Amino acid sequence: MTRLKSRHDGMLGWIADNTSADAVIAAPHGSGLRIDLALLARRPAFHGIGQPFRTACLAENAQRGALIAGLSADSNTGGPRYRDYYRALDYADFQSIARAFRLDYVLIDEDHQPDMPAETIMQSRGGLRLIMIDPK
């Protein structure tokens, strides 16, 4: 059997071994990490993966996309603009999102928002950081 691989296997393995199975994790739009989270770490992605094809679920997915990537209903595709939107979010923004919808962790590039609270950095590997979000 062929095993799926990701350039982020180290971080995804750490997530699989060290977070609860129902932990909801956000990842940059267009990075491929949202798919890797579901397939390799077996964790729910905050936006874009595993949404049932029911109207209510599609509407919620659109709301999540607007919060995390600045997506509008008519443009649910990747690209630099959406990655830049995600990179501009700071810890307080992620907390606000976590108050609207469950969000336990975010994956960010190591150079993204270097002023993230140190106590929230759970892991750094392969150019990524896993940040724990406290919605309070």
Expressed in angstroms, the distance from the first to the final Cα of the chain is 44
Local confidence band at 78 (pLDDT 50, 70, 90 cut-offs): low
Rg (CA), the chain: 14
* CA–CA separation, 24 and 73 (whole Å): 22
Query: Mean pLDDT over residues 113-131, rounded?
Result: 89
Write the pLDDT tens digit of every residue in 91-100: 999 999 999 9
Which residue type occupies 133? Answer: I
Q: How far is CA 84 from CA 5, 91, 109, in A?
A: 26, 15, 12
**Confidence (pLDDT) at 16:** 94
